[in-house]
């Protein structure tokens, strides 16, 4: 989908559909904003005449389609409600653009023009970025395995965002370009997570990462079983031991520092930020087998890795002035004669031993080795992991937010604020020393699970033993990584949650200090 920004007269713009986003209207006087009033005059007063009937009030998400007979260039006019004016923010505008794209596609349209509304709360650049994101996200669909696609909506090929004359076009177009890159990257994360598990075992995920790296100029390394064993990443190897598909450790780097002569890193190198993703391509629960109902949707257990891979793509396209490292531990958790068992004690890459309590708590073992590798090999300024880690998070926060825990309050606050700005909500949970002590084992250094109480927190407490003093945040996206519902921006399936927030953090990293 092509997204453009210009200041043309909306009434003269040729399109299959012209969208007019309107805030909630005052029944005592139906007044349209000036540019939309111009469209109404060109259409012979059809819009105001309809508003007088009360059929459209401008409530958030409300829509109504008009078919002007003449006077304007568009075939259809769509009124989109924004809700109360003082509550219009970037998420409302993102959603409005998505509604317009879906309405165009449902009517087999190919071209959409959408008038950017005047807003006191959202600057023009932020508005165009949000609307571009909404358009790209709403146009997403995953139908590559359907042999018949007649019933699916048409693909919208172009979206024009129409600004008022005098608007700063250069900044608006740059912001829209950012929105397109971020949203397309989020759609990549959706694609990876939506793939069926037979099509995306660990080796296939690694190939997808390598292909992406070639396309956008990332440095990539993939460690196979022999190299993982050589690095003594015993926790990750234990999880993958029951599957016919061997594990892969994927390392992506954007803006990697150039090595000086003698193999040493240059003293002048950008700040390093490490992102770590859980990449369990299918989770059967291992020998602690899940019930049939709970095993459905476990292809999405690699959503954290998908988010990390997609964020590295965006970092490259946006030329983020940081050294961004993405690490994805790709494994399949299956039961077999070679699978790891409850009561096993495994040795992690950090040298710490771990008593296994439940083979269905596999993600934290994979992350333990990946976090240790990130910390020891790259010495980052900050470390963020993303994982569908605990069902307890879904119970605590429902589908409306992900949990953030860590050892650095500034970093956690940064993530919460980035989520608020991008429409991806995070809620902080405590992580105290008592939680860390609770994860000590009587037989080994650590135990893998801490029981039902505070399950999301104790899982993070386990991970905290592998990050040392590095500023670290753990994002538990178990409740937000996929959905059975569809909305203006989201069909059922994978969400790509976290890409927008992580991109916001990386783009603005220079303004914050976490130490």
**Residue range 486-490: mean pLDDT, rounded:** 94
Q: Active-site residue 31, yes or no? A: no
Report residue 49's pLDDT band, with 50, 70 and 90 as the boundaries.
confident
What is the spatial distance between Cα 164 and Cα 5, in angstroms, rounded to a whole number? 11
- Residue 247, pLDDT > 80, answer yes
Report residue 64's pLDDT band, with 50, 70 and 90 as the boundaries.
very high
**Residue range 316-338: mean pLDDT, rounded:** 98
- Residue 151, pLDDT > 80, answer no
| Beta carbons within 8 Å of 51's beta carbon, 6+ residues apart | 25, 30
Report residue 514's pLDDT band, with 50, 70 and 90 as the boundaries.
confident
pLDDT of residue 152: 64
Helix axes 169-194, 499-507, angle to 10 degrees: 140
Percent with pLDDT over 90 in the chain: 86
What is the spatial distance between Cα 439 and Cα 446, in angstroms, rounded to a whole number? 6
Report residue 68's pLDDT band, with 50, 70 and 90 as the boundaries.
confident
DSSP string, 81-100: EEE-GGG--HHHHHHHHHHH
Provide the 3-class DSSP secondary structure of residue 276. Answer: strand
- Residue 363, pLDDT > 70, answer yes
* Catalytic residue (one of 35, 102, 364, 507): 364
Provide the 3-class DSSP secondary structure of residue 356. Answer: coil
Most confident of 147-151, 268-272, 418-422: 418-422
pLDDT of residue 263: 57
pLDDT of residue 27: 66
Kindly tell me the sign of the dihedral angle through the C-alpha atoms of 428, 192, 326, 423. negative
Cβ distance 35 to 163 under 8 Å? no
Question: How many CB atoms are located within 10 Å of the residue 398 CB?
Answer: 10
* Inter-CA distances, 13 with 6, 10, 63, 74, Å: 11, 5, 21, 6
What is the spatial distance between Cα 219 and Cα 1, in angstroms, rounded to a whole number? 28
Report residue 513's pLDDT band, with 50, 70 and 90 as the boundaries.
confident
What is the spatial distance between Cα 155 and Cα 262, in angstroms, rounded to a whole number? 53
**Residue range 238-245: mean pLDDT, rounded:** 98
Report residue 50's pLDDT band, with 50, 70 and 90 as the boundaries.
confident
| Beta carbons within 8 Å of 170's beta carbon, 6+ residues apart | none
SS (H, E, C) 221-246: EEECHHHHHHCCCHHHHHHHCCCCCC
pLDDT of residue 35: 84
What is the spatial distance between Cα 510 and Cα 13, in angstroms, rounded to a whole number? 41
What is the spatial distance between Cα 230 and Cα 226, in angstroms, rounded to a whole number? 6
**Residue range 163-174: mean pLDDT, rounded:** 92
pLDDT of residue 148: 74
* Inter-CA distances, 137 with 21, 97, 295, 398, 496, Å: 18, 9, 28, 22, 10
pLDDT of residue 120: 83
Q: Mind listing the pLDDT tens digit for each residue in 404-445?
A: 999 999 999 999 999 999 999 999 999 999 999 999 999 999
Average per-residue pLDDT in the chain?
94
Q: Mind listing the pLDDT tens digit for each residue in 285-312?
A: 999 999 999 999 999 999 999 999 999 9
**Residue range 341-352: mean pLDDT, rounded:** 98
* Catalytic residue (one of 75, 107, 290, 341): 290
pLDDT of residue 115: 96
Cβ distance 164 to 118 under 8 Å? yes
Helix axes 303-317, 202-216, angle to 10 degrees: 10
Report residue 31's pLDDT band, with 50, 70 and 90 as the boundaries.
confident
- Residue 266, pLDDT > 60, answer no
What is the spatial distance between Cα 72 and Cα 43, in angstroms, rounded to a whole number? 6
Q: What is the DSSP letter of 38?
A: H
Q: Active-site residue 259, yes or no? A: no
What is the spatial distance between Cα 268 and Cα 160, in angstroms, rounded to a whole number? 42
What 139-146 contacts at long range (C-beta under 8 Å, 24+ apart), as own/partner pairs, is 139/1, 139/101, 139/105, 140/187, 140/190, 140/491, 141/491, 142/190, 142/191, 142/194, 142/491, 142/493, 142/494, 145/196
| Beta carbons within 8 Å of 99's beta carbon, 6+ residues apart | 19, 61, 63, 80, 138, 488
Cβ distance 309 to 286 under 8 Å? no
pLDDT of residue 262: 57
Q: Mind listing the pLDDT tens digit for each residue in 169-226?
A: 999 999 999 999 999 999 999 999 999 999 999 999 999 999 999 999 999 999 999 9
């Amino acid at each position: 989908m092509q997204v453009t920004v210009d200041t043309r007269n909306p009434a003269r713009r040729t399109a299959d559909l012209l969208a007019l986003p309107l805030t909630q209207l005052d029944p005592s006087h139906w007044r349209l904003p000036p540019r939309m009033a111009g469209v109404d005059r060109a259409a012979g007063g059809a819009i105001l005449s309809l508003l007088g009937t009360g059929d459209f009030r401008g409530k958030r998400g409300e829509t109504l389609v008009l078919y002007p007979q003449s006077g304007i260039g568009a075939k259809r006019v769509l009124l989109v409600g924004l809700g109360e004016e003082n509550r219009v923010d970037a998420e409302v505008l993102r959603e409005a653009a998505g509604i317009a794209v879906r309405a165009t596609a449902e009517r087999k349209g190919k071209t959409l023009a959408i008038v950017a509304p005047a807003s006191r709360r959202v600057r023009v650049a932020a508005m165009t970025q949000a609307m571009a994101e909404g358009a790209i996200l709403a146009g997403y669909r995953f139908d590559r395995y359907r042999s018949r696609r007649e019933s699916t909506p048409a693909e919208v090929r172009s979206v024009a965002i129409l600004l008022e004359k005098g608007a700063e076009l250069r900044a608006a177009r740059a912001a829209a370009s950012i929105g397109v890159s971020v949203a397309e990257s989020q759609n990549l994360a959706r694609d990876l997570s939506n793939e069926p598990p037979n099509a995306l075992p660990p080796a296939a995920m690694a190939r997808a990462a390598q292909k992406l790296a070639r396309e956008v100029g990332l440095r990539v390394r993939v460690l196979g079983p022999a190299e993982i064993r050589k690095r003594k990443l015993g926790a990750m190897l234990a999880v993958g031991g029951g599957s016919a598909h061997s594990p892969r450790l994927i390392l992506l780097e954007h803006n990697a520092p150039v090595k000086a002569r003698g193999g040493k890193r240059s003293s002048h190198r950008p700040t390093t930020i490490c992102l770590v993703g859980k990449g369990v391509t299918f989770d059967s629960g291992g020998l602690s087998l899940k019930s049939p109902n709970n095993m459905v949707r476990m292809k999405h257990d690699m959503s954290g890795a998908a988010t990390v891979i997609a964020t590295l793509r965006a970092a490259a396209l946006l030329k983020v002035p940081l050294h961004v490292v993405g690490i994805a531990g790709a494994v399949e958790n299956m039961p077999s004669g070679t699978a790891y068992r409850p009561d096993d004690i495994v040795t992690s890459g950090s040298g710490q031993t771990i008593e296994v309590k439940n083979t269905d708590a596999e993600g934290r073992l994979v992350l333990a080795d990946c976090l240790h590798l990130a910390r020891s090999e790259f010495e980052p300024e900050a470390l963020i992991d993303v994982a569908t880690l605990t069902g307890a998070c879904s119970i605590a926060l429902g589908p409306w937010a992900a949990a953030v825990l860590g050892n650095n309050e500034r970093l956690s606050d940064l993530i919460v604020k980035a989520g608020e700005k991008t429409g991806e909500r995070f809620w902080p949970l405590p992580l105290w020393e008592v939680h860390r002590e609770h994860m000590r084992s009587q037989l080994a250094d650590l135990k893998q699970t801490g029981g039902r109480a505070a399950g999301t927190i104790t899982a993070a407490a386990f991970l905290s033993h592998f990050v040392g003093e590095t500023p670290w945040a753990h994002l538990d996206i178990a409740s937000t990584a996929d959905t059975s519902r569809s909305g203006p921006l989201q069909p059922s399936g994978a969400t790509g949650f976290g890409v927008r927030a992580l991109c916001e953090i990386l783009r603005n990293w220079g303004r914050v200090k976490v130490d």
